[in-house]
Amino acid sequence: MTRTGGGINGKAKENEKGSAHYSEKINAVISAKGKLTIKLGDKYVAKMGSKSKTFDVVKRGGGLTDKTNKNNVKTIISEKGHTVTMDNGDTAKKSAAEILIHEFVGHAAPRLLGKETGNTIENENIVRVELGLPERIVDKKHHE
C-alpha cells in the first residue's frame, strides 16, 4: 500500500514472499497489553515531566522509537529514508518501509513483548533475510 495525502491506496507492489518473523511480531504486538503508536514525521517532541525535548528524526537515522514507557511505545519514521552500510560493505539508501522494519522489530516489539536477540540490527536482519534484502552490519552497541 502507498501513503497518499494522509490515506493509503493499493497501487504499490507487495512483496508476496513476505516475512514470517515480521508478521509474527505484528500479531503479537496487536495482542499485547501495551500500546504502539507509529507516526510519520521528521521531528519528535518527547515529554519529560514538565519539560520537553525535540529530536530530529532524520539526523537520528530516519527513525526513532520512544521506549521510556513500556506500555505506551511511540515510533516515528521519516519519509526521507536513510543511508546505511550493508554487510557486504556497500552503502544503501533505506526507504521509510525499511526504517520501519528496523524500528518495529528492533526496538518497539522487543519493548512491548520482551527481549528477543538483544541487538536491534540482528532483529532487523532476520526480516531482511526473509525478504531477500542484504543484511546490515551488526553493531553490537545497538541494543533493543
pLDDT of residue 100: 94
* The pLDDT value given to residue 36: 95
Q: Using alpha carbons, select from 45, 38, 126 the residue that is nearest to residue 77.
A: 38
The answer to whether 36 and 108 are in contact (CB under 8 A) is yes
Q: Is the pTM of this model over 0.85?
A: no
Residue 136 — pLDDT band, cuts 50, 70, 90?
Answer: confident
Whole-number Å distance between alpha carbons of 115 and 59 = 26
Please give the grid coordinates belonging to residue 25. 511480531
pLDDT number for residue 7: 40
pLDDT in tens, 12-61: 455 567 899 999 999 999 999 999 999 999 999 998 889 999 999 999 98
Q: What pLDDT, in 10s, does the model give residues 104-128?
A: 999 999 999 988 889 999 999 999 9
pLDDT band, residue 1 (cuts 50/70/90): very low
Residue 43, H or E segment? strand 43-48
Residues 40 and 78: beta-carbon distance below 8 Å:
yes
Distance separating alpha carbons of residues 111 and 70, to the nearest angstrom: 6
- Distance separating alpha carbons of residues 32 and 91, to the nearest angstrom: 35
Residues 68-92 have pLDDT tens digits of: 888 999 999 999 888 887 778 888 7
Instruction: Indicate the pairing of strand 35-40 with strand 72-77.
Output: parallel
Q: What pLDDT, on a 0 to 100 scale, did the predictor assign at position 16?
A: 64
Give the three-class secondary structure for 30.
helix
